[in-house]
Amino acid sequence: MSSCKDESLTFSSNPSSSPIIVSEGDNSSYLTDPNNGQIGSASGSFQSDNLLAESSGSDLDYGFSRPDFRQNPLVGTVQHYHRHVFLCYKNPRNWPPRIEAAEFDRLPRLLSATLAARKGDMNKETRLTICEGRDGTETSNGDVLIFPDMNRYRRLTHFDVDTFVEEVLIKDVEWLPGNPEKLKGSYIFICCHGSRDRRCGVCGPPLVARFKEEVELRGLQGKVSVSPCSHVGGHKYAGNVIIFGCSISGEVTGHWYGYVTPDDVASLLEHHIMRGEIVEWLWRGQMGLTEDEQRTAQELRLQNNGVASRGGIVRQFSEVAEMKTPTCGSHPKANGCCQANGNTECCQHPAVAGENSDANNCETKGATERKNKKQLSRNNSYKAVGKRKVCSMPSWFENWEREDTYAALAVVCAAVSIGIAYSCYKQL
């Protein structure tokens, strides 16, 4: 397990990271723009692509406003694996639907076939993904990134595939023709494989653009890499985002997020990258964990956080798992508790940063609810996806605490007793 305790920037929040699995057909990578020094795909790589122009007219059917958006639970949807290999190769516009099987793209095809053939010889389940590569940049065609090892090998060719897999992925030794370079910082991969699934082609490019903008605004150039990648699994969860980096404990982890919109990018950078906090309501899972272990890990985190988290970014686990229930299911992107009030649905938003950590719990009554009513936070979900009516909470009696009721009864009884005593005194 690679560690990075001495890195200047840490990014993931779950220290329990273990090796990763090998799966076929997944490709991803990262790229640096030599013109502005920012790690990520080259400047303008999407602005000139047809995918971005195509996305504007397809948003209703394939983008963040599509009918099936945020209609499925996310946690536990990452296949168990222990190592992730990213091959830098061309860009999304050039990727066929199954780049690992493309006849004329020999490098990804041979690497994928060799990984599948030697799977039984590897002691780590390994996943292969293609990411954008551009010659003459920090990450060129043929470069290979390996996580959690945090290694980069330069300029792999189809002639080298057998030797590379044998030495690096099976024997776990260095590949002599290319000395490994240590990777530093955070690596963000966004699925933009539009030829594989239109949803990824529509949702991915705007996310890449927004991530690059936010990275620049926060001065994280050179510390955070942003790159489009090929299919990673789970088209229906687009936008799909994977973040690799060091956890608070110093171990390298890989976390998957789904249903990410441009409005969520700032939260992912601020909380996951800069604070080491998982954004639970968008979290799909983690490399090195089985599906059941992913669910258990989230449940434990939510319990440790009192079911809620700072800033209202951590959604109640039961709300995410029950998105299709009549109460909150019609608005799965809400961040608070939705309650039925007659024929009108009332959605109370969670408190903003600094509020009681129990503010998101739909079962909490009394004082916490009264505090939340006074300070409603902005809905974190994508603005184009439905509108909810924010209304007042139920009647005053439902918000009346049991202690308040007892106190009121005591006052009433005392007043009655005094009245009776005064009447008796007057008759004397």
| Chain segment 196-249, per-residue pLDDT in tens | 999 999 999 999 999 999 999 999 999 999 999 999 999 999 999 999 998 888
Residue 83, CB-side half-sphere exposure with 13 Å CA sphere:
22
For residue 23, the cross-strand partners are 127
- How large is the greatest C-alpha to C-alpha distance in the chain, in angstroms? 115
Helices (DSSP H) in 314-358: which residue ranges? 317-321
Is pLDDT larger for residue 427 or for residue 129? 129
Degrees to nearest 5, angle at CA 338 with 337 and 340: 140
Q: What is the band of 2 on the pLDDT scale with cuts at 50, 70, 90?
A: low
Q: What is the DSSP string of 204-215?
A: HHHHHHHHHHHH
If you average pLDDT over each of 259-268, 359-368, 385-394, which comes out highest? Answer: 259-268
Q: Determine the average pLDDT of the residues in 318-340.
A: 39
Q: Determine the average pLDDT of the residues in 89-112.
A: 91
Is pLDDT larger for residue 171 or for residue 312? 171
Residue 257: per-residue pLDDT? 98
**Ordered strands of the 144-147 beta sheet:** 181-182, 151-153, 144-147, 83-88, 126-131, 224-229, 186-191, 241-246, 252-257, 283-286
CA distance 164 to 270: 37
Q: What is the band of 403 on the pLDDT scale with cuts at 50, 70, 90?
A: low
Residue 58: per-residue pLDDT? 58
Is pLDDT larger for residue 40 or for residue 99? 99
Q: What is the band of 269 on the pLDDT scale with cuts at 50, 70, 90?
A: very high
* pLDDT over 80 at 63, yes or no: yes
Q: What is the band of 405 on the pLDDT scale with cuts at 50, 70, 90?
A: low
Residue-wise pLDDT for 292-313, tens only, equals 999 999 999 999 988 654 433 3
Residue 277: per-residue pLDDT? 94
Residue 3: per-residue pLDDT? 58
> Percent of the chain scored above 70 by pLDDT?
63
CA distance 347 to 281: 17
* pLDDT over 70 at 346, yes or no: no
- Domain range 50-285, CATH architecture: 3-Layer(aba) Sandwich (3.40)
Residue 16: per-residue pLDDT? 35
Q: What is the band of 268 on the pLDDT scale with cuts at 50, 70, 90?
A: very high
Residue 401: per-residue pLDDT? 52
Give me the chain's average pLDDT, please.
74
Q: What are phi and psi of 292, to 5 degrees?
A: -65, -40
Residue 187: per-residue pLDDT? 97
Helices (DSSP H) in 270-374: which residue ranges? 291-304, 317-321, 367-374
Q: What are phi and psi of 319, to 5 degrees?
A: -70, -40
Helices (DSSP H) in 94-159: which residue ranges? 106-117
Residue 102: per-residue pLDDT? 84
Residue 412: per-residue pLDDT? 81
Q: Count the Cβ atoms, other than its own, within 10 Å of residue 294.
A: 24
Question: Which residues are within 8 A (CB) of 407 and not within 5 positions of it... i.e. 6 or more apart?
Answer: none
Question: What one-character DSSP code corresponds to residue 370?
Answer: H
Assess contact for 14 and 287: CB atoms under 8 A: no
Is pLDDT larger for residue 401 or for residue 313? 401
Residue-wise pLDDT for 117-164, tens only, equals 999 999 999 999 999 998 877 789 999 999 999 999 999 999 999 999
Any idea how long the chain is? 428
Residue 415: per-residue pLDDT? 83
Q: Determine the average pLDDT of the residues in 61-70.
A: 94
pTM exceeds 0.75 for this model:
no
* pLDDT over 70 at 35, yes or no: no
* pLDDT over 70 at 398, yes or no: no
